[in-house]
Structure 1
């Protein structure tokens, strides 16, 4: 009996030794794959790095660090679907990991999946996300709120982001955009001006400030901004739209038509441009062309409806055809 027990203990000891060697072998393999993956990552050989990290995951599929490494590569490649897959795996392993929620939210935002982005940014914020990421979590959620046209919520989030980081150009630019959307033109100018102070050659913010000036009937400052944009980038299509709008307001219809056609030549996929062209048709009593351009604007997509508040639309404002068009913008 004792001999059998001794023999059995001997067999178990040999098995335990072999099992330990197997474990050590797997751990060594895992470490080798991670080391090679990091070397490929550092040298920019992303496909090779991903292949090594996948081999590591085959050995150990619960180490969230490997999924973070894969996510970092997919972020570099703007492959947001795979960032979502890898961060979802992290969350499956550790569902109180705020950074994973943050990275997944950012990827949902890039994919324009705004509701999921809002949900994940909220999770990351509620889980005490690191202060390094917290301002951009509020900013990202604010951008997602813009995407679903919840401008009040967006304003709240950008104000929080700015209170934590008042050096980020994008926060002020987007605040200016929100105030444009809610017709707070004075506030829009204030925030665009701050954005421009942080990024003086930002054609987008300068041009958007010009639009706010036009809506406030401050054509002198509007013209100054538009000319500055064209000086910075003569191919910036939206500047010519604002230039045309200014020319309409000061009565230079020929110059207005030249500028809006220049805008459309540079970018034919902006519905707002065709609204300005339609306005010129209306001034010239070319009603069929006016409605054709309005329909084209609607089919492409209209960013702002503020143009229609202008008195020049009064001549058609009560007509059935115009009212039918206008209702479609909101219903």
Structure 2
């Protein structure tokens, strides 16, 4: 996602940049031998052996940041983000004005869902004028962290900056569309999901997300076209079955809607929004106890969008004490 291939190339590049200084000739030979052997292991995918050789090199020269970059490139490939953080922190201790180290550490914090630290380090890398090769993904990474902390306006600003530098990355447009869904800019969401689709025609997620945007715009015919395309691309896509069920509710085919929402739950029982759709069907059928049971399930699992409750279908219970008690808990 964040140019991991380039990060691996960094490791190869750093090999040429590693220079041993201020030591005896015998130690220099040992150091260079460890680096050479470690690089050979790295090239052949023997990562544990490569790390062992690089550790030996660090024992001889503990302040050469190139070796820490080599170790970081391996840990990135292994998705071992804690060790990327350890190694990039060491680089920053040696050279506090190293934007690439802040960028790599920020990316690792992001993967560990430590969003505040990710925001801080992405900001450091941006303020230090990180290379233009990394600047768009630094903005998008910070935007992702802002999105995770529900700071939607700052997330929008960062993704717009990323897009201004690289308008060929479909994920930037996809995430912009998602943010607009969150702030109820449904027309803008359609626009950005459409751009993402133009860049990635096989993205079932983008078709499904655009279908949801059309649902919220009450354009059910366009929503149906998109959700069917999403399922054509991925017949096991649970969220697409949820949207399909929602569309069928609006088109009046309750039996088909119930079948599809149950299919969604069969594929993924850990999405609270699915139970809201099931509860909506209960409401239509006047099965109130089942309706509230499914709302409770949705709340316990976690609700992603509360927009469903704006539907006129909920008017019949909107002012009831039991529903109001449930609804207030979503905000407090």
Tell me what 2:244 maps to: 243
Tell me what 1:81 maps to: 82
Tell me what 2:200 maps to: 199
What stretches of structure 2 of length at least 5 have no aligned partner? 1-22
Rounded Cα–Cα distance in structure 1 between residues aligned with 2:159 and 2:95: 29
The alignment covers a number of residue pairs equal to 310
SS of the aligned residue for 1:317 comes to coil
Tell me what 1:50 maps to: 51
Rounded Cα–Cα distance in structure 2 between residues aligned with 1:171 and 1:298: 30
1:110 aligns with 2:111: yes
SS of the aligned residue for 1:128 comes to coil
Tell me what 1:143 maps to: 144
Q: Deviations over 1:37-89 (max 9, x none)?
A: 00000111000000000111111110000000000000000000000000000
SS of the aligned residue for 2:330 comes to helix
Q: CA deviation at 1:304?
A: 0.6
SS of the aligned residue for 1:330 comes to coil
Q: Deviations over 1:168-192 (max 9, x none)?
A: 0110000000000000000000000
Runs of 4+ off more than 3 Å: none
SS of the aligned residue for 1:95 comes to coil
SS of the aligned residue for 2:28 comes to helix
Rounded Cα–Cα distance in structure 1 between residues aligned with 2:269 and 2:220: 26
Q: Deviations over 1:107-129 (max 9, x none)?
A: 00011110000000000000010
1:311 aligns with 2:327: no
What stretches of structure 1 of length at least 5 have no aligned partner? 1-21
1:277 aligns with 2:252: no
Over alpha carbons, which structure has the higher Rg? Answer: 1
Rounded Cα–Cα distance in structure 2 between residues aligned with 1:298 and 1:198: 36
Q: Which has the higher contact order (CA 8 A, sep 6+)?
A: 2
TM-score (norm 2): 0.93
1:174 aligns with 2:175: yes
Tell me what 2:166 maps to: 165
Rounded Cα–Cα distance in structure 1 between residues aligned with 2:325 and 2:85: 43
TM-score (norm 1): 0.93
Tell me what 2:98 maps to: 97
1:212 aligns with 2:210: no
Tell me what 2:188 maps to: 187
Q: CA deviation at 1:166?
A: 0.3
Q: CA deviation at 1:23?
A: 1.5
Q: CA deviation at 1:27?
A: 1.1
Q: CA deviation at 1:146?
A: 0.4
Tell me what 1:122 maps to: 123
Q: Deviations over 1:215-258 (max 9, x none)?
A: 11101100000111111111011111000000111111111100
Rounded Cα–Cα distance in structure 1 between residues aligned with 2:328 and 2:239: 26
